[in-house]
Amino acid sequence: MMETIRIRRAGYPIRYTFVEFVDRYRVLMPGVKPAYKQEDLRGTCQRIAEAVLGRDDDWQMGKTKIFLKDHHDMLLEIERDKAITDKVILIQKVVRGFKDRSNFLKMRKSAVLIQKTWRGYHCRKNYGAMRAGFSRLQALVRSRKLCASYHVARQRITGFQGRCRGYLVRRAFRHRLWAVITIQAYTRGMIARRLYKRLKGEYHRRLEAEKMRLAEEAKLRNQMSAKRAKAEAERKHQDLERPTRSWLLLGSGTRKRRFMEICQSLAHNGYQLSGSEKIPVMTKI
């Protein structure tokens, strides 16, 4: 057993073909392609051995194989384990990074979606409140405008109604005034004609009475003295004239009563008569 160990230490117990060596230890040198893609396998094996074991160390290159000692193989395996561990860690880091990035992107996407939804809801809520406020403001402004236009239209209509009523009242007043003036004119004409007839009759009666008195006086003068004849003629004339005066007074009182009745009826209608009894003048109360 010891002899075998001594022989192994003296020789090269570890032997790899170039293909096996490149496929197993190419991880120790970055940028080395697999063996089936290599054109110079011997040169690649030499570069890997020099990079890991050193150029002056006790290892040999054959035509188809590389010869190594135990400690060379142990060193290569340790370095290979380190390189594989580093690669595994790198792969794990990349995978974990990808996973974490994916989770982060999902979380960020979800957060952005939540933020977008919340901001949209908040903006829509604010817009709705603002729109409701502007709608109320517009309604208030429109109501103010309508109220102002209504007041203006009402004032105009009220003024127009006042003018129309005034026009109707003035027209009715003019018509009533025309009627009253017409009635007054006919009444004054009637009174004047009656008075004229009565005065004319009285005048004729007085003339007749005067003629009768003169005739009676002349007749009595022949029978009596002049003074007694004149007195007797005047007495008879007065006796003859008394019924005529009482009749005229009676006619004048009736005329006054009718005239006062007409004045009272006109006063009830809003007018009054002023002036003399013979020529009344209408004035508005």
For the ranges 59-73, 94-108, 262-276, the maximum mean pLDDT occurs at 94-108
Span 232-246, average pLDDT: 56
pLDDT score at 46: 83
Span 263-268, average pLDDT: 55
At 18, the pLDDT band (50, 70, 90 cuts) reads confident
At 227, the pLDDT band (50, 70, 90 cuts) reads low
pLDDT score at 4: 63
pLDDT score at 153: 94
Span 10-35, average pLDDT: 81
**Does 248 have pLDDT greater than 70?**
no
Beta carbons of 262 and 282 less than 8 angstroms apart: no
**Does 101 have pLDDT greater than 80?**
yes
